[in-house]
A and B are shown apart, each in its own frame.
Chain A
Amino acid sequence: EDQLLESGGGLVQPGGSLRLSCAASGFTFSSYAMNWVRQAPGKGLEWVSAIGGRGTGIYYADSVKGRFTISRDNSKNTLYLQMNSLRVEDTAVYYCAKPRGGYLHDAFDIWGQGTMVTVSS
Chain B
Amino acid sequence: DIQMTQSPSSLSASVGDRVTITCQASQDISNYLNWYQQKPGKAPKLLIYDASNLETGVPSRFSGSGSGTDFTFTISSLQPEDIATYYCQQYDNLPTFGQGTRLEIK
Contact = CB atoms under 8 A, between A and B. Distances in A.
Given A45-B100, A47-B96, A105-B92, 10 more contacts: A37-B95, A47-B95, A61-B94, A100-B46, A105-B91, A107-B50, A108-B34, A109-B46, A109-B55, A111-B45
Interface string A84-97: 00000000000100
A35 B34 CA distance: 16
Q: In terms of DSSP, what is the predominant structure of the interface of chain B?
A: loop
A44 B44 CA distance: 11
A45 to B, nearest CB: 4
B87 A44 contact: yes
Contact of A45 (B87, B91, B92): B87
B9 to A, nearest CB: 10
B94 A107 contact: no
Contact of B43 (A62, A100, A112): A112
Contacts of B89: 45, 107-108
A100 B94 contact: no
A111 to B, nearest CB: 4
Contacts of A61: 94
Given A47-B95, A59-B94, A108 B100 contact: no
A112 B91 CA distance: 20
Interface residues of B, number: 24
Sorting the interface of chain A by its residue count into under 10, 10 to 19, 20 to 34 or 35 or more gives 20 to 34
B49 interface: yes
Interface string B75-106: 00000000000010101111111111000000
A113 B91 CA distance: 22
Contact of A108 (B1, B44, B99): B44
Contacts of B97: 44-47
Nearest to B100: A44
Contacts of A73: none
A105 B55 contact: no
Contacts of A95: 43-44
A61 B91 CA distance: 13
A113 B49 CA distance: 21
